[in-house]
Amino acid sequence: MNTSGSARFRAARALFRKELSSYFQTPVAYIVGAVFLGATASLFFSVFFLYDRVEMRQFFSTLPILLAILMPALSMRLIAEEKRRGTWEILTTLPVRNLEIVLAKFAAVWVTGLFLLLPTLLFTFTVGTMGPLDAGPVAGGYLGAVLLAAAYSAIGLFASSLTRNETTALITGLVLCLIFALLNVFLVLIPAPLVPLFEYLSIGYHFSSFSQGIVDSRSVVYFVSLTAGFLMFSLYRLNTNRTGDAL
Amino acid sequence: MVEFQTIGKDYGDLTALKDISFSIPRGGIVGLLGPNGAGKTTAMRIMTGHMEPSRGTVRIAGEEFTPDSVELKARIGYLPESAPFYGDMMAWDYLMYEAELHGIDARVRVPEVIREVGLESHAHKPIRELSKGYRQRVGLAHTLLHDPELLVLDEPTSGLDPNQIIEVRNLIRKIAETKTVILSTHIMQEVEALCSRVIVIHRGSIRYDGTIAAFSPSSRRIHLSVAGIGFEDLQERLKKINGFHSIAQREIGPDDAGQIEGQTEAGLLNVTVLSDPATDIRPDIFRSAAGKNGFTLYEMVRERTSMEDIFHELTAAEESVNQKGGRP
């Protein structure tokens, strides 16, 4: 019986490939992607000419909200659908660890999200033809977007692990993502001593530094921890939900 | 191969398994028999690592089995009831994915297993477009793919038409030549047709565990259709027969259709007689009918399926107690 590390990796890889192809074999990714592209383009270019500056900051500033809708829409099915359809029963009896399931599904939805971000590079070229575009903020902004997508993927996966109903998973994921995205907007409502803490916890605060071209290691640590944290919550949820009780 | 040591399972307030124990050695087909909701599926889900028991220990091939025992899971093939698979995947693609997951040579093994279960003509169709019978074959292919030592099949023939049932049963028999098969069913005939051993589960406990041949019922059933006599008179006459237990009127025939035809014919009195299993009282019934002041005997059938008896006996007694003492 092959139980080496490579065999374990192979199971996760098989699962990842199946998950990824299921996004692109069904219309889901294309529909969500088209809506996302339309929304980003209209939000960006409707104000772009008003500012009359050759920069992408307006585009990046919409991402924490738009990705908070896009990523849960992609991730809602990850576990909820398997539970609803009964395929979860087969998956859990195959020789795959829950950790591998979590990592493979997370990676699949993350990569899918990044694929859907690719067409927005066109905006960069469009803007670049209108004048000299500073590469720093654009590169920083996309690095931030990659990290942001990872964090939202992990949150969405966790939301999907809580239920067998995809709509519930979507709404839970959406709300969780938006809480992190908008935490800095509501800082005025928070008692003064707690402001720095809530500011540090907010996605908006960390993400805005990326789109200014500043790659702050604390922000990178923040996004990586947020992602790892929700992956651990998902794993914990799967490990403790083997009792077969409802959900 | 499989050992349950006082396995208990609760769903909230409901106890699905009441600390059951059994040990299934390597080889042969073992049937888990019980009505719907008896705990068969729960037992199978625990056996395959989908679920953790609330109490007790499971051993597979002598090793303690937990939902994290990936190495042991690789030695089990499990087919859940209704064979849930990803509907938009083609059977071929699905098996390729599983082969990759198991780390076996997909290009060799997948065509092989598809041939084994007779899925060649339907391998390149989305699973959701397959008929129930072919979906069940995908399920069997999935259980056989990694050449496991133990196969756990939850109601493998439910929802199939009679021809498909025969085909699937033949497949299971072939599989059992080299592997241990545990299957669940609520159909007695299935156990009789396939299993060398039967474990009867009812309300979460084991009621019988052994071979079918070893089960001796405490009574046997005889179905009669008569005319020219009332129920009370018939009862009085049959009471005199040595080995007679009881008699009851029956509106329709026994549930396994086809044993008695014309059971609703007008003017016939249909009864079921329970008798001592050691004595065949049919000759006495016939003599009683043919004798003085006799009656016309249209039909007399002794129930063939001893599993029906097992079942009635193990479950009916408790139900009648419950019905009487159930509500104040």
Instruction: Give B91-127 pLDDT, tens digit per residue.
Output: 999 999 999 999 999 999 999 999 988 899 999 999 9
**Residue B81 predicted with pLDDT over 70:** yes
Judge if ipTM > 0.85: yes
Residues B237-262 have pLDDT tens digits of 888 888 888 888 876 544 444 444 44
Mutate to test the interface with B, among A94, A97, A105 (most CBs of B within 10 A): A94
Q: Would an 8 Å CB–CB cutoff place B25 in contact with chain A?
A: no
Q: What is the pLDDT of residue B256?
A: 44
Number of domains in chain A: 1
Considering the four listed CATH numbers 3.30.70.3100, 3.30.360.10, 3.30.1360.100, 2.40.170.20, the one that applies to the domain covering B220-310 is 3.30.70.3100
Pairing mode, strands B197-202 and B28-33: parallel
Mean pLDDT, to the nearest integer, of A221-243? 93
Q: What is the DSSP string of chain A?
A: ---SHHHHHHHHHHHHHHHHHHHHHSTHHHHHHHHHHHHHHHHHHHHHHHHT-S--HHHHHHHHHHHHHHHHHHHTHHHHHHHHHTHHHHHTTSS--HHHHHHHHHHHHHHHHHHHHGGGHHHHHHHHTTSPPPHHHHHHHHHHHHHHHHHHHHHHHHHHHT-S-HHHHHHHHHHHHHHHHHTTTTGGGS-GGGHHHHHHH-HHHHHHHHHTT---HHHHHHHHHHHHHHHHHHHHHHHH--S----
Q: What is the pLDDT of residue B302?
A: 82
Which tops the pLDDT comparison, B314 or B283?
Answer: B283
The whole-angstrom distance between B303's CA and the closest CA on chain A is 39
Q: Would an 8 Å CB–CB cutoff place A242 in contact with chain B?
A: yes
Residues A24-80 have pLDDT tens digits of 888 878 888 899 999 988 888 888 888 777 788 888 988 999 999 999 999 999 999
- Count A/B contacts: CB-CB distance under 8 Å: 87
Q: Which of residues 90-129 of A touch B (CB under 8 A)?
A: 90, 92-98
DSSP conformational letter for B294: -
Q: Which residues on B lie below 8 Å from A1 (Cβ)?
A: 71, 74-75
- The model carries a pTM of 0.83
Q: Which residues on B lie below 8 Å from A89 (Cβ)?
A: 45, 50, 80, 84
Instruction: Say which of B11, B73, B101 has its CB closest to residue A244.
Output: B11
Q: Does A245 map to a domain?
A: no
Mean pLDDT, to the nearest integer, of B34-44? 89
Mutate to test the interface with A, among B70, B110, B127 (most CBs of A within 10 A): B70
The verdict on a CB contact (< 8 Å) between A95 and B74 is yes
Q: Where are the domains of chain B?
A: 2-210, 220-310
3-state secondary structure B59-82: EECCEECCCCCHHHHCCEEEECCC
The whole-angstrom distance between B188's CA and the closest CA on chain A is 26
User: Rounded mean pLDDT of chain A?
Assistant: 89
pLDDT band at B191 (very low <50, low <70, confident <90, very high): confident
Q: Would an 8 Å CB–CB cutoff place A31 in contact with chain B?
A: no
Q: Does A132 map to a domain?
A: yes
Instruction: Say which of A8, A94, A242 has its CB closest to residue B52.
Output: A242
Domain residues for the domain of A202 are: 5-240
**Residue B213 predicted with pLDDT over 80:** no
Of the candidates B185, B208, B214, the residue with the CA atom closest to the CA atom of residue B29? B185
Number of C-beta neighbours around residue B10 at 10 A: 17
Mean pLDDT, to the nearest integer, of B56-76? 92
**Residue A247 predicted with pLDDT over 50:** no
pLDDT band at A20 (very low <50, low <70, confident <90, very high): very high
User: Rounded mean pLDDT of chain B?
Assistant: 85
Looking at chain B, list the stretches that DSSP marks H as alpha helix, in order from N- to C-terminal side.
40-47, 70-73, 91-102, 106-116, 132-144, 162-175, 188-194, 231-239, 282-290, 306-325
What is the distance between the alpha carbons of residues B325 and B186, in angstroms, rounded to a whole number? 27
Q: Does A43 map to a domain?
A: yes
Instruction: Say which of B9, B50, B101 has its CB closest to residue A92.
Output: B50
Residues A138-148 have pLDDT tens digits of 999 999 999 99
- For residue A240, the chain B residue with the least C-alpha distance is B52
B142: its two tokens: 């999935």
Low-confidence winner among A182-191, B79-88, B230-239 (lowest mean pLDDT) = A182-191
Q: Which residues on A lie below 8 Å from B142 (Cβ)?
A: 90
The whole-angstrom distance between A1's CA and the closest CA on chain B is 7
Low-confidence winner among B64-68, B247-251, B262-266 (lowest mean pLDDT) = B262-266
Q: What is the pLDDT of residue A173?
A: 97
Q: What is the pLDDT of residue A3?
A: 46
Considering the four listed CATH numbers 3.40.120.10, 3.40.50.300, 1.10.760.10, 3.40.50.1100, the one that applies to the domain covering B2-210 is 3.40.50.300
Number of C-beta neighbours around residue A183 at 10 A: 18
**Residue B214 predicted with pLDDT over 80:** no
Q: Would an 8 Å CB–CB cutoff place B75 in contact with chain A?
A: yes
- For residue A11, the chain B residue with the least C-alpha distance is B101
